[in-house]
Structure 1
Amino acid sequence: MRQRPGYQGTGPGQFTPDGCAVDLYRRIPVRDEPQIIAAVKPPPATLLELGCGAGRVTRPLAELGYRVTAVDESAEMLAAVEGALDVRDGGPGIESVRSSIEDLALYRVFDIVWLSSFLVHAPDPEVRGRMLRACRRHVEPDGVVIVQREGAGWHTRIPRQNPIADGFSRVTASNDVGDGVREVHVEYDFPDAHWTQTFRSRPLTVEQFETALRDAGLFVERYLTPDGTWVAASPIA
């Protein structure tokens, strides 16, 4: 798939339209995402994972007892999702769906809808709105939408470095490209491989973030972590 304008990835292997390297995402380990989700609504439950990538969190969620429907626009990413099982019997497992988030129409609803990877910061407000409306139309009336957002100083604490398994990621730049959009450059170093990714992000204040959710028919129920990066939202009746 052709990479989007303003997005680029370099290094070995295949890439998604937003510059993500499939082989890189296969080696990034799970962090505390399953525990954050389980604290909001524990298994068993149905869970729609939007932007699942290579399944870094998908399999641990299924192992906890969730019935996960994992969505990604990249066939290469979906091919890397491990443990795919038929979930029609009602038990835990993984179902994969190839679709962009903003165009998703499954005509069913879920106990949990999860929008991670800072996707709410899409540079195009129309795309962001369509993503959030996809969250709203796929969540049960008494369900929850869990959203990951950028924390304070995300675009100003540059450079910064974080460990990843036997390597590390380094955010080296976040440059203003106009109209409130930033272009971010990240490098990933491992003993045997090096990748880079350039992508675009629209920073949102708390007020802008909450307004965007309300415009999509959602309201913030609570912030789940002290840094405010994980948020539980509910559908507006």
Structure 2
Amino acid sequence: MSRWDDMTGRRTGADYAARFDALAASGADVHGEASFCTALAPPPARILDAGCGTGRVAIRLAELGHDVVGVDLDPSMLAVARERAPQVPWLEADLARLDLAAAGLSAAFDLVVAAGNVVPLVAPGTEPQVVSALARHLRPDGLLVTGFGLDAAHLPLDEPTVTLADFDAWCGDAGLQLHARFATWDGTPYAGGGYAVSVHRRTR
């Protein structure tokens, strides 16, 4: 069971969506991740939103002209995504065992994005498998983009579960090389701190 399951019981889709709807209504920019990814891979790129939740990032990417697939393990989240964007393919699946080809979808993506603390919230011990599975869905030279907290202040957890050193090692084992790292989705350079946005490129 994932850490997300432990926290939510897979029943929080509507509440999660409402929180971001309120932020958007207040004038906050809730599309930083999509803008960041579009700068790296201009449309029409093929993008996988891994741990897509209610589809906030994937739907915006589709609006920007990308060919998008969303994957998540939480059916309550996917129910919201499917209601809001029925034209986008949404798949319920465990990222550690992700195989889109077996589901009848092309598995070659220009970019895979895992935003919203996806990596720290997968099932304990499956992090390397998740990274490997995401890497396998990238075309050669494709990009894995992740953003997650490194301390309790930037996580919905009491303590961090992933270090950048471990994450980079898992990426290296999966044929990915660090391309760039930032402190925020608006491109602020990373100089240490509790949150990191990492861009890894598939080199083999």
Partner AA of 1:39 in structure 2: A
Instruction: Decide whether the 8 Å contact of 1:133 with 1:216 is kept in 2.
Output: yes
Counterpart for residue 38 of structure 1: 38
3-state SS of 2:149 partner: coil
Paired letter, 1:141: P
Distance (whole Å) between structure 2 residues aligned to residue 101 and residue 49 of structure 1: 11
Q: Is the counterpart of residue 70 in structure 1 residue 64 in structure 2? A: no
Match of 2:58 in 1: 58
Is 1:120 matched up with 2:119?
yes
Provide Cα deviations, 1:89-125, integer angstroms capped at 9, x if missing partner. Answer: xxxxx21111111111012211111112222224766
The separation in 2 between residues aligned to 1:120 and 1:74, in whole angstroms, is 15
Deviation at 1:210, TM superposition (A): 1.3
Q: Deviations over 1:59-85 (max 9, x none)?
A: 111100011100011222212111221
The match for 1:185 is none
**Greater displacement, 39-48 / 125-134:** 125-134
Match of 1:101 in 2: 95
CA RMSD of aligned residues (A): 2.7
Deviation, structure 1 residue 216: 2.1
1:202 and 2:161 correspond: yes
**Does the alignment pair 1:214 with 2:181?**
no
Task: Tell me the number of residue pairs that the alignment of Structure 1 and Structure 2 aligns.
Answer: 179
Q: What amino acid does structure 2 have at the position aligned with 1:97?
A: L
Paired position in structure 1 for 2:12? 21
1:229 to 180, 196, 204: 196
Q: How many Å apart are 1:126 and its aligned residue?
A: 3.3
Structure 1 residues 124 and 117: alpha-carbon distance in aligned structure 2, compared to 1, 3 A threshold: same
Question: TM (normalized to structure 2)?
Answer: 0.77
Q: Which residue of 1 aligns with 2:26?
A: none
Identity of counterpart residues, as a percentage? 26
Distance 1:71 1:111 in 2: 16
> Shift of residue 6 of structure 1?
8.4
8 Å CA contact 1:102, 1:130 repeated in 2: yes
Moved >4 Å (runs of 4+): 2-6, 122-125
Please, which runs of 5 or more residues in structure 1 have no aligned partner?
10-14, 86-93, 161-169, 175-181, 183-200
Bigger strand fraction: 1
Which amino acid in structure 1 is aligned with residue 131 of structure 2?
L
